[in-house]
Structure 1
């Protein structure tokens, strides 16, 4: 699959169903996993993800929040513009639109992506999502 460049619900990001393409593009170590974004909680569950019972409502209702559950980072998108793109896929890998370890560079992003999706918001770096690690016993805010 091709690599998309789009304004996500949080910041500018590369999106793809192919993690290898994103690894190569960002010069990222292959062991480091990518965030998976889903258009709905139903789609999240359909892909074999499970949330500890006491956090289901939190995960279902959270906006601009990434959850790490059993070592996998996931986010359910609520932003209508980003959601419109995601509904065409059941899920996508997502990562910030920059070279690994560097800041946002619009020229780098444009040259490395196959498809550029730009709406009225443009392409601009914004604050990343909140980040929580969840397990059966407790939750921990990481960012």
Structure 2
């Protein structure tokens, strides 16, 4: 599977369905899972069981990552980013940098197979909020 470099709904990122390839690029430990981004809520519900008490929150949240049973996910509100994910249904997503480093365009372009740049360009922006969901509670992680 190819690795895309693109502007995500939050920041510039690597996207792929190949988590091993992303681990290699980022020089990241293999026990740290990647975020899964979904093109829409319908695709998300097929993969992840969201507690009923939180479905409305997850459906309407933008630029927000949720964790349920150690799986991090987000559905994309940004139509430009969603259009990239749509043919795949979902992609792993991670910030475009080496683990613990800041964004360096030359490095990112050298390790990406496909660079998707639109009128927004590629720019580092703030990360999403992260919430842990249980059947009865919400806990903010970031």
Using structure 1 for the length normalisation, give the TM-score.
0.97
Distance of 1:13 and 1:96 partners within structure 2: 4
Determine the structure 2 residue equivalent to 1:68.
67
Counterpart position of 1:23: 23
Q: Secondary structure at the residue paired with 1:74?
A: strand
Gaps of at least 5 residues in structure 2 are none
1:1-143 alignment runs, 5 A limit: 1-47=1-47, 49-143=48-142
Instruction: For 2:71 and 2:42, locate their aligned partners in 1 and report how far apart those are by CA, in whole Å.
Output: 17
1:136: how far off? Answer: 1.0
Structure 1 runs (4+) deviating above 2 angstroms are none
Query: CA offsets per residue over residues 79-105 of structure 1, 9 Å max, x none?
Result: 010011111111000000000011111
- TM normalised by structure 2 equals 0.98
Cα distance in 2 for residues equivalent to 1:97 and 1:139 = 28
C-alpha displacement of 1:3: 0.5
Q: What SS class does the counterpart of residue 120 from structure 2 fall into?
A: coil
